[in-house]
Structure 1
Amino acid sequence: MNIAVVMGGYSDESVISIRSGQLILNNLDRTKYTPFEVHILPEGWNVIENGNKYAINKADFSFEKNGAKITFGAAVNTIHGTPGEDGHMQSYWELIGLPYTGCGFYQSALTFNKRDTLSVLDKFGIPKAKSIYLSKGDSITAEDIVATLGLPFMVKPNQSGSSLGVSKVNAIEDFDKALDFAFAEDSDILIESYLKGTEVSVGVLNYKGQTTVLGLTEIVSHNDFFDYEAKYQGKSDEITPARLDTATEQKVRETASKAYEALGMTGFSRTDFIVMDGVPHFIEINTNPGLSPASIFPQQAQHAGIAFTDLLDNEITLALSRKVLWRK
C-alpha cells in the first residue's frame, strides 16, 4: 500500500513536523507499505523523492511521476499546527475519501482551541487552572488579572503549539510584553493561574481497540517553564517513567484516559498535566505530538517495549477502519 507521510504545515512548527516525518519514514514496515514523503508548505504541496518534487493534485491527493498517476491508500498525518492539527486537512481528506491517521476533523479543531477544550473537559470534572480569555482589542489591566489569578500567571495564544508565544508573568510590568508576544501568534489568548507542581506529559492512544496510556514522562525545565527552548533546544530533563508515587501515577493515568475519551480521541496524543498536591491538573492535549527521535512519545514507546513500527501499523489500521464507517 502506498502511504503518504504528510509533514510540514503553515506555522512556525513546520520544521519540527518535518523532523517527526523522518522518524515515521524510517519506521514504517516496508514489507507492508511504500512510504512517500509529502510536504504541505505555504509554497506548495509536493512529494519529495531523491531531491525531486512532484506536485500533489489537490483534486484527489495524487501525483504524477513519469507519466503515471500514483495514489495513496492512506495518509499518516504528522503536521504540527495548521492545517494538519486544526481539522483543515482532516476535513479535506474525508471529502475526497482518503483514510488518515489521528483523530477526526472535529476533535482536531476542538483540541487545537485551548479555551474550547477546557470548556468541554470542565463538564467531566477534570481539574485545571483558573483562566481568563481575551481577544485582541479587549480592554483589561494587569491589576484585573492579578486580582483574579494572582501572581505569577501564564499568558498563551489560544491556538498555537510548541509553546510558541507563551510567557510566564512574574511581575505586573511584564504583562504588556507577554500580551504582545501571545497576540503575535493568535488574535485570541488564554491567561491562566500558575500551577506550581510536577509537570508530566502522558502519551495516550487507541492501541488494538483499547485506550492505552503509553507512559508518563516528568518534565524538569532548566528555564522558568517548559518553553520552546526547553522543549527543542535541550534546556530540560525528560524523565521516563515520571518520579511519582504509585497512587499519584494511577491518578494521572486515570485522568489522562478520561480526558482522551471525553474528547472523543483516536490515534496518538500527548496530554500535559501539572500535578499539584497529588492532583493532576490538565494543561493541554496535543493530537499530533512530536515524533522526532528526541521527542517524548517515542521515548515512552521505547520504555513500554512497544516497537514504533507496531504503533504506526496500528494507526494505519485504525485509519482504514474509519473509512469503512464513512461508507456506512
Structure 2
Amino acid sequence: MNSKKLQIAIVTGGTSAEVEIALKGADVVIKHLDKDRFETFKINIGEKLWTVDHDERKLPIDKNDFSFIVDHKRVDFDCAFVIIHGKPAENGKIQAYFDLVGLPYTCSGVFASSISYNKEACKAFLKDMPVKLAKSITVNANNDLASMNLNLSFPVFVKPNQEGSSYGISRVKVKEDISKAVQQALKYDDQVMIEEAIAGREITCGLMTLNGEVITLPLTEIISAKEFFDYEAKYEGASNEITPAEISSELSDECKRISIEIYKKLMCKGIVRIDYILKDEDFYLLEVNSIPGLSEASIVPQQAKAQGISLEELFAIQIEECLSQNYQQTTI
C-alpha cells in the first residue's frame, strides 16, 4: 500500500431487527482501524436514506456512485467495510449494488450471502456436503398447522427462514404450541423453518481469507445459560464461550475441514462464522453467518485473539484481502 490513506466506507445500519448490533460493531471497526493507514467514514444504510457521518453532520450519499459532497468536493471510497447484520447485506442486495458501481467490499458476494441467509436454501445447497443436517420443514402464513403432519420429532426450533441474532426464534416441546411460535417468527419473515432440535454441544468455527487462502480460527464452544443461544445469551452475557473449544484434536480438525469445504462451496469471502451442534462424533450444521459480529466481545474477535491476531490486524486484513486482485476476481 502507498503512503496515501485509503478511504474506507464503514457500511452499517441496515433494515433488519439487527440494526443496533451492526452500529455497535461499526464503532469497534472504526476504533481499531489504523488511523495512519485508513481514513474511515461511517455510512448508515436506512430504508430509503443513506447518510455519512461527517464533522457532526449527516450528509447524503449519492446512490449513483456511492460518493458524497463536502465543502464542494466529492469524496469517493477505496473499499466498503460491510458491517450490516441481516438486510440488505446478509441477503446480498447491497453487494449487488456495490458490484454495479464497482466498489470492492470486505464480505461475501451476492451468491454466498443470499444462499446462506435463506436457511432452507442453504440446507438444500449443502445437502451433499460432509455435514449432518437436522430434519426440517418450511411453512408460511397460508399453512394450516393444526391439520399438518409435521413428521418431526419434538422438541423443535421455530425460526424465521431469513433472520439472525435469534430474533423470532422459539424452542417448542409439543405440537400444540407450534402455531403461537410460528406467528412470532412471522413477524420477522414470511417464511418460517421448523427444525428438529439436536441435543449436543454448540461449536462454532470462524474463517477468513489470508493471502488468498482460506484459514480457520480456533473453535469456540458456546454454553448458554438459557434454554438455547438466544439474543440475551448472545449479547447480554448469558453464555459462557470457551475458546479454544475443549474437544479432541481429531474433532477440531474435522470441524475445520468441513467448514473450509462449506466456505469454498458457497464461495464465501471475508470473515464468516459457521455454527454447529456436536452430537457424539457428528457435526450438525446450524447456520452460516456471512457477516458475524465484530465487537470486542463477539466470538470471531475472541477466536482471533486466541490465534494471536489483534483487532487492528484482523480488520486491516479484511481490507487488504478485499483490495487484492485475487479477491476481486473471485467475488461473486
Could you tell me which runs of 5 or more consecutive residues in structure 2 were left unpaired when the two chains were aligned. Answer: 1-5
The match for 1:16 is: 21
Deviation at residue 312 of structure 1 after TM alignment: 2.0
CA distance in 2, matches of 1:142, 1:222: 35
CA-to-aligned-CA distance 1:54-108 (integer Å, 9 cap, x gap): 1111111101111111111110001111011111110000101111111111111
Equivalent position of 1:168 in the other structure: 171
Give the match's secondary structure for 1:192: strand
Q: 2:245 aligns with which of 230, 242, 247?
A: 242
Pair 1:277 & 2:280 matched: yes
Segments of 4+ moved more than 6 angstroms = none
What corresponds to 1:158 in structure 2?
161
* Residue 36 of structure 1: how far off its partner (Å): 0.8
| Deviation at residue 143 of structure 1 after TM alignment | 7.0
TM-score by length of 2: 0.94
- Return the TM-score normalized by structure 1: 0.95
Q: Residues 142 and 149 of structure 1: is their aligned pair in 2 closer, same or farther, counting only changes over 3 Å?
A: farther
Provide the identity percentage: 36
Q: Map 1:1-328; keep pairs closer than 5 Å.
A: 1-42=6-47, 44-141=49-146, 144-145=149-150, 148-321=151-324, 325=329
Q: What SS does structure 1 have at the residue aligned with 2:61?
A: strand
1:139 deviates by 2.6
The amino acid across from 1:84 in the alignment is A
The residue type paired with residue 219 of structure 1 is I
In structure 2, distance between residues paired with 1:268 and 1:65 = 32
Higher helix share: 1
Q: 1:107 to 1:93 in 2, by over 3 A?
A: same
- Equivalent residues of 2:111, 2:266 under 8 A apart: no
Assess if the C-alpha contact under 8 Å between 1:207 and 1:311 holds in 2.
no
**Counterpart of 1:7 in 2: which secondary structure?**
strand
- Residue 143 of structure 1 contacts residue 172 of structure 1 at CA under 8 Å; is this kept in 2? no
What is the CA-CA distance between 1:51 and the residue it aligns to?
2.3
Hey, what's the Cα distance between the residues in 2 that align with 1:172 and 1:95? 47
How many residues are treated as equivalent by the alignment? 325
- For the residue of structure 1 that corresponds to 2:188, the secondary structure is coil
- Cα distance, 1:31 vs. partner? 2.2
8 A Cα contact 1:126 1:259, kept in partner: no
Q: 1:125 to 1:41 in 2, by over 3 A?
A: same
Q: Report the CA distance between 1:43 and its aligned residue.
A: 5.7
Offset, 1:117? 0.7
The 1:302/1:38 distance shift into structure 2, 3 A limit, reads same
Mapped partners of 1:91, 1:158: distance in 2? 21
Relative distance call for 1:142 and 1:227 in structure 2 (3 A) is: farther
**Alpha-carbon offset, residue 278 of structure 1:** 1.4
Cα root mean square deviation, aligned: 1.7
Deviation at 1:142, TM superposition (A): 7.7
Amino acid at match of 2:40: P
Equivalent residue of 1:103, what SS?
coil
Q: What stretches of structure 1 of length at least 5 have no aligned partner? A: none
Pairwise CA distance, 1:311? 2.3
- What secondary structure does 1:215 align onto? coil
Question: How many angstroms apart in 2 are the aligned matches of 1:223 and 1:174?
Answer: 19
Deviates further, 43-52 or 214-223: 43-52
